[in-house]
Each structure stands twice: as structure tokens, then as C-alpha cells.
Amino acid sequence: MMLTRLRKFTFALAIAARLGAQENPAERGVQLFELAQYEEAKKELGAELKHDQKATTALFYLGRIAMVEGDFNEASRLFERTTRSKDATSEHYRWLAQALGQMAARGSKLKAPFVAKKAKAALERAVSMDPDNVESRVALLRYYLIAPGMMGGSTERAARQVPEIAKRSPFWGRLAAAGVHEDRKDDAAAEREYEKAIEEYPDSASGLYALGLLYQRTEQNDKAFATFERMVEKHPDKINALYAIGRLGAQTGKNLERSETALTSFLSMPVKEGHVPRSSAHYRLGMVYEKTGRRELARKEYETSLRLEQRSEVRDALARVK
């Protein structure tokens, strides 16, 4: 642990030294982004964008900061601009799809089909630009599994991605195969694939997370809690497991005391890329407070969630406790 902290400190010093030597605001902004100093990064990247409205690097990292902040509309606008650049890459399209996917899932149900189709087109473009971009292939497979047929969803299309993913990444190939098994209602086969992925790649947290979600979906709640707790123990830096524990408790009414501590721990951590939006954590914590009869605390959490992001289900929850 001490060695890990020392390495992180040394890395931070090295980055700071590089920042001092750099003149380009975009380069400084990227380094600050890597240190999770998002406000400072935004200032540097914004300065670069004022100098050059088509600065692809600045647009891309400002979009990623908007994703961290939960402003998916702004993120999609910025990523859209990167895809119009002559320097556009597969990653620019992948991130555009990610922002659009969040908008489709969290926004207006009337607009969702249109937004989802744009996300699909962006993912297909990302894969065509770089067939070896595993993250794009995995995201496209997930789209095919989640989207209804009228939006381009298809189990067979998803299944065709599995061997392409597997030959580039055996680990993600296992998770991709498990996802297809789930879609085909073969939960036992999916569980076996997840267990193999966890056994073969113990340093990755994604297998445990996916297995926990399988147990949650199939209402094997005790197994789901235990799996997320394994993830907390083995991968303490992957704090989305804390959110998963809290969400499961909020939804099921079980293990509410542990769910509360998990969510408060999650919210005490610094905001970083890849974390579940804080608006969601405040919403789930409000649900826990509501289920335990603490309506005033629930109200405050729902209000905080709405200040961060406007969502109809949170407005409905707030109306219940007012």
C-alpha cells in the first residue's frame, strides 16, 4: 500500500514537472485531466478552444469532462464536433455513442429512438474505422442486445461480434459471449462464462461486476450482494461496486444499513471518469432513507439529485416525500 502511494505521488510530481514545461494549453489540459483535476483542465482546454475553435484534442477532453459531470447533452455536442474534424478517429465516434446512449437512457422517451439510432450509427462507424477497437465492438454488441428491433437491436448481430471480440481480447470475448447467453435466456451458460472470466483474469473487476448484475437481474439478491462485496474487497478502487450495493438495497429493501454506508462512501470519494453519475447515487440514497422512514433526509437527497440532473423518476420520488 505504501509503495502504491509512493508511486502515485511520484507520478503526480512527474506530471506537475511536465505541466510547468509545457506551453500548449491543450497539453496542460490533458495532463490535468489525467490527474482528475477537471476544473483546472477545463480552464486550460477552454483557453485552447478560444484560440482554435476546431481544436480536436480540446473538444474531446472537454467532452469527457462533461461526461464526468453528467452533462450528456453537452458531451454529445462536443464529441459531435470532434467527428466533423479531419482528425476524427474511432475513439471520437465511440465517445459520441456513449454520450448519446446516456441521453437515450436518461432523457425523453419520445426522443429516445432517434437518439439511440444515432448512437448505433456512431458505434458502427467507430468499428469500421478501427476494427481492432475492442471497446467499440463491445459497446456495439451491448447496443444490439439492449435495443429493440425497431432501433436496430438484434441478438444475431450481437452474436456475430463475439468471435471478433474474442480473437482480439479473450477476456472481453468471454463477457461478450455471456451477454449473448443472457439475451437468449440461458442464464446458466452466462454464469459459467462470467465465472471463467473471473478465474482466468483475476485482476479485472469487470467479470465480478457483470456476474453481480446477472444475479441481480435474476433476483438472486444474496448472491448479487456477495458478488459486489467480493469486488469491493478485491478491487477497492472500483467504487462503482459500492454504488451497486446501494442500488440493490434501495431497489429490494434488503441490507439497507449496508446500502446506506456503501452509498455514503461512494459519495465521499473524489469524482473520476468512469464513476456512476453522482445524481444517481443521491437518488438511490434518497430511496434508502425513504424506505427507512427518514423522509426529510430522503427529500434532501432527491433535491440534490435533481440539481445535478433532471430525471422524471427523481421528480416523482421527491413528490412522494414532500
Q: Where are the domains of the chain?
A: 239-322
Closest listed residue to residue 35, CA positions, set 8, 70, 74 = 8
Q: What is the pLDDT of residue 184?
A: 98
Convert 156-179 to b/e letters by CB count within 10 Å (16 or more is b): eebbebbebbbeebebbbbbbbbb
3-state helix, strand, coil in the chain (%, to 5): 80, 0, 20
The contacts of residue 212 (CB under 8 Å, 6+ apart) are: 224, 227, 228, 231, 241, 244
Question: pLDDT by residue (tens digit) across 206-250?
Answer: 999 999 999 999 999 999 999 999 999 999 999 999 999 999 999
**With 60 as the cut, is the pLDDT of residue 12 above it?**
no
Catalogue the E-assigned strands of 89-172.
none
Q: Report how far residue 287's alpha carbon sits from residue 194's, in angstroms, rounded to the nearest whole number.
A: 30
Higher pLDDT, 124 or 6: 124
- Please give the CATH superfamily to which domain 239-322 belongs: Tetratricopeptide repeat domain (1.25.40.10)
Question: pLDDT by residue (tens digit) across 48-94?
Answer: 999 888 899 999 999 999 999 999 999 999 999 999 999 999 999 99
- The mean pLDDT value for 175-199 works out to 98
Q: Report how far residue 210's alpha carbon sits from residue 193's, in angstroms, rounded to the nearest whole number.
A: 10
Least confident of 21-35, 256-270, 302-316: 21-35
Closest listed residue to residue 102, CA positions, set 127, 126, 81, 71 = 71
